[in-house]
């Protein structure tokens, strides 16, 4: 967009903090509610897709891009309009039951969208292979997630490791472990808490653990309970940090990065940890 290659309009089914970021960059966002709200039958689905296709057509777009599998409705609407669509799955759950939250008739239509995209762009070869049975039109391809290292470096400009460790209260011999990502079942932070409970006591005496990305949920409450159940000496060496954009100092201060995600496809946080030169578990 900054190079003048594309002009875009962003559709979102719900509002959130990224809306301001898009709009500050001159990218219009329309929040219109989920197109499939209340849909339960094939007839309901067809009517909902027709309505969404009418909106898409009014935007006079040349290409539709669907980010994550949850946007299958955009791919279907584009297909009905004869507009090319690029679908970008970022999940790696088994396709056989990924859409189980929808009624069977809708789930079947969602699976049919794999053959309707001009390209289905996966971010990892392993995920593409897992969906190979759906590649009936040979339209699958892989483009790995990228990372703008200059932008990443700008986020920590003027900071250094020593200062970051001081800010986080780390002693010279502390071994700082960083687990970064939204606290939720899919990202498996409970496993990290259970692993801390099983550490050898000599190792545990050196470890400082930072779980960054907490947000209110039942899973978060259970995570806090697991940490609170640790022996007092270990418990005081674990910090659960709320969601924040200020993650640079944690990367700078860390000695190792931990990823406990159950189902991820080439996670961005792994790229970020690599960029900061951290060993990764």
Which contiguous run of DSSP H or E holds residue 47?
helix 42-58
Euclidean distance between the first and the last CA atom of the chain, given in angstroms as a whole number: 36
CA within 13 Å, CB half, 207: 26
Give the contacts of 268 (CB within 8 A, at least 6 positions apart). 145, 147
Q: Which residue has the higher pLDDT, 189 or 264?
A: 189
Handedness of CA 158, 175, 246, 276 (dihedral sign): positive
Residue 263 reports pLDDT greater than 90: no
Residue 2 reports pLDDT greater than 90: no
pTM of the predicted protein model: 0.85
Binning pLDDT at 50, 70 and 90, where does residue 22 land? Answer: very high
Residue 267 reports pLDDT greater than 90: no
Per-residue burial over 155-188, b = 16 or more CB atoms within 10 Å of its CB, e = otherwise: ebeeeebeebbeebebeeebbbbbbbbebbeebb
Structure-token pair, residue 232: 């007092």
Residue 246 reports pLDDT greater than 90: no
Q: What is the mean pLDDT of residues 146-171?
A: 92
Residue 214 reports pLDDT greater than 90: yes
Tens-place pLDDT, residues 81-134: 999 999 999 999 999 999 999 999 999 999 999 999 999 999 999 999 999 999
Strand (E) positions, the chain? 10-12, 29-31, 64-67, 85-88, 119-122, 140-142, 175-180, 207-214, 238-242, 256-257
pLDDT for res 264: 85
Q: What is the mean pLDDT of residues 60-79?
A: 97
pLDDT for res 17: 84
Tens-place pLDDT, residues 161-189: 999 999 999 999 999 999 999 999 999 99
Closest CA to 74 of 98, 52, 54: 52
Give the contacts of 144 (CB within 8 A, at least 6 positions apart). 123, 124, 266
Number of neighbouring beta carbons within 10 Å of residue 222? 15
Residue 208 reports pLDDT greater than 90: yes
Residue 278 reports pLDDT greater than 90: yes
Across the chain, mean pLDDT equals 95
Yes or no: say if 267 and 275 are a contact pair by the CB < 8 Å rule: no
Give the contacts of 263 (CB within 8 A, at least 6 positions apart). 91, 92, 93, 186
Number of neighbouring beta carbons within 10 Å of residue 250? 22
């Amino acid at each position: 967009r900054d190079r003048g290659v594309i002009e875009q309009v962003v559709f979102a089914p719900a509002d959130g903090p990224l809306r301001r970021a898009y709009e500050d960059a001159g990218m219009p966002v329309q929040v219109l509610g989920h197109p499939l709200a209340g849909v339960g039958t094939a007839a309901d689905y067809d009517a909902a897709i027709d309505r969404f296709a009418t909106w898409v057509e009014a935007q006079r777009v040349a290409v539709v891009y669907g980010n994550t599998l949850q946007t299958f409705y955009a791919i279907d609407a584009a297909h009905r309009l004869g507009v090319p669509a690029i679908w970008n799955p970022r999940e790696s759950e088994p396709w056989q039951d990924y859409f189980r939250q929808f009624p069977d008739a809708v789930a079947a239509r969602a699976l049919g969208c794999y053959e309707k995209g001009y390209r289905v762009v996966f971010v990892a070869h392993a995920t593409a292979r897992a969906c190979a049975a759906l590649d009936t039109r040979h339209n699958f391809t892989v483009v790995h997630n990228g990372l703008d290292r200059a932008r990443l470096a700008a986020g920590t400009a003027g900071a250094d490791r020593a200062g970051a460790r001081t800010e986080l209260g780390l002693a010279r011999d502390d071994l700082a472990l960083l687990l970064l990502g939204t606290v939720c079942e899919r990202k498996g932070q409970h496993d990290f808490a259970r692993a801390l409970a099983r550490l050898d006591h000599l190792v545990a005496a050196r470890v400082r653990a930072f779980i960054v990305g907490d947000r209110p949920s039942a899973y978060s409450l259970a995570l806090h309970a697991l940490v609170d159940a640790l022996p007092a000496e270990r418990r005081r060496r674990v910090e659960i940090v709320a969601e924040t954009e200020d993650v640079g100092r944690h990367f700078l201060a860390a000695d190792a990065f931990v990823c406990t995600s159950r189902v991820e496809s080439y996670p961005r946080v792994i790229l970020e940890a690599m960029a900061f030169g951290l060993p990764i578990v």
